[in-house]
């Protein structure tokens, strides 16, 4: 582990399977997550692995932590790369290596550690989402009570893994959870910029149908809490790294 937070280096496990013309016109997820965290910690370094193509870090323990991106793929697809990713998540959990997952990442972490993923009962959620902060760890001290994040999903974590504590919730489900001090997740997309979600909304207009589209358009008139989220995630990694050297709490 690097000493101090100046030289921290992270793996971005890129799961986004979208190779459409739209995807090629916009920054890839590795760039988006790098830009997000560098808003708060410009000196941190990131290596991107296209895990969706079967490209994984040789030794995940080399890194100070990892982030798992979103994807139109399903965590329940049974694809070989998904199975391998679930194994890596279990390995990181056993090592208490700091891990943050967004959207697909949030669902994959839940699934890998014994939770359940299902189709969202109310159908597609897309646009600006408001999430009630239901826990306030030290690293989230500057987040507002209601956290606004762009989202786009049709699946959700129905059952949290054992030992998980809800972090955020929306409507009738958990939209972010923590396990110990080394795992944190968000169902939604802190890395998405306003320009990108607007473009994505147009791209998916036919698929999502007129009602979801109209709701999404209306929601995009207001800002999200991106700088506060960047700072919170950076502090999460710093706190998780600092705690790694300490013995784990004994199980009750």
Whether 78 is covered by a domain: the verdict is yes
Q: pTM for this structure?
A: 0.94
Whether 93 is covered by a domain: the verdict is yes
Whether 252 is covered by a domain: the verdict is no
> Residue 126 has what DSSP assignment?
E
| CATH code of the domain covering residue 113 | 3.40.50.880
Whether 250 is covered by a domain: the verdict is no
Looking at residue 246, what is its pLDDT? 64
User: Which domain, by its residues, includes 56?
Assistant: 9-123+132-191+225-242
**119-151 residue pLDDT tens:** 999 888 999 999 999 999 999 999 999 999 999
More confident site: 181 or 7: 181
**What total of structural domains would you count in the chain?**
1
β-strand 116-119 against 125-133: which pairing, if any? unpaired
Looking at residue 4, what is its pLDDT? 53
Whether 165 is covered by a domain: the verdict is yes
244 pLDDT band, cuts 50/70/90, is confident
Looking at residue 207, what is its pLDDT? 92
Contacts of 236 (CB under 8 A, 6+ apart): 98, 100, 137, 139, 140, 184
Written as one string, the DSSP assignment of 199-216 is: HHHHHTHHHHHHHHHHHH
**62-115 residue pLDDT tens:** 999 999 999 999 999 999 999 999 999 999 999 999 999 999 999 999 999 999
Whether 207 is covered by a domain: the verdict is no
Tokens matching residue 164: 């998980």
Alpha carbons 39 and 102: distance in angstroms, whole number:
17
β-strand 99-102 against 65-68: which pairing, if any? parallel
Whether 216 is covered by a domain: the verdict is no
Whether 94 is covered by a domain: the verdict is yes
């Amino acid at each position: 582990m690097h000493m101090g937070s100046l030289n921290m280096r992270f793996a971005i496990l890129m799961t986004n399977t979208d190779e459409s013309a739209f995807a090629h016109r916009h920054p890839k997820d590795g760039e988006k997550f790098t830009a997000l965290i560098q808003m708060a910690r410009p000196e941190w370094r990131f290596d991107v692995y296209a895990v969706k193509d079967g490209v994984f870090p040789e030794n995940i323990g080399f890194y100070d932590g990892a982030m798992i991106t979103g994807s139109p793929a399903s965590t329940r697809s049974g694809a070989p790369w998904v199975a391998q990713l679930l194994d890596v998540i279990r390995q990181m959990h056993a090592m208490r290596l700091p891990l943050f997952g967004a959207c697909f990442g949030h669902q994959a972490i839940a699934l890998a550690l014994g939770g359940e993923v299902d189709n969202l009962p109310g159908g597609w959620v897309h646009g600006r989402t408001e999430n009630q902060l239901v826990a306030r760890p030290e690293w989230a001290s500057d987040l507002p009570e209601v956290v606004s994040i762009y989202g786009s999903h049709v699946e959700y974590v129905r059952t949290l893994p054992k030992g998980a504590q809800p972090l955020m919730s929306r409507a009738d489900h958990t939209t972010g959870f923590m396990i110990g001090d080394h795992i944190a997740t968000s169902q939604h997309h802190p890395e998405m910029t306003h320009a990108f979600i607007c473009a994505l909304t147009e791209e998916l207009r036919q698929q999502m149908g007129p009602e979801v589209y109209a709701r999404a358009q209306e929601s995009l008139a207001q800002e999200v809490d991106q700088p506060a989220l960047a700072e919170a995630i950076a502090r999460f990694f710093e706190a998780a790294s600092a705690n790694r050297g300490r013995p784990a709490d004994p199980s009750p």
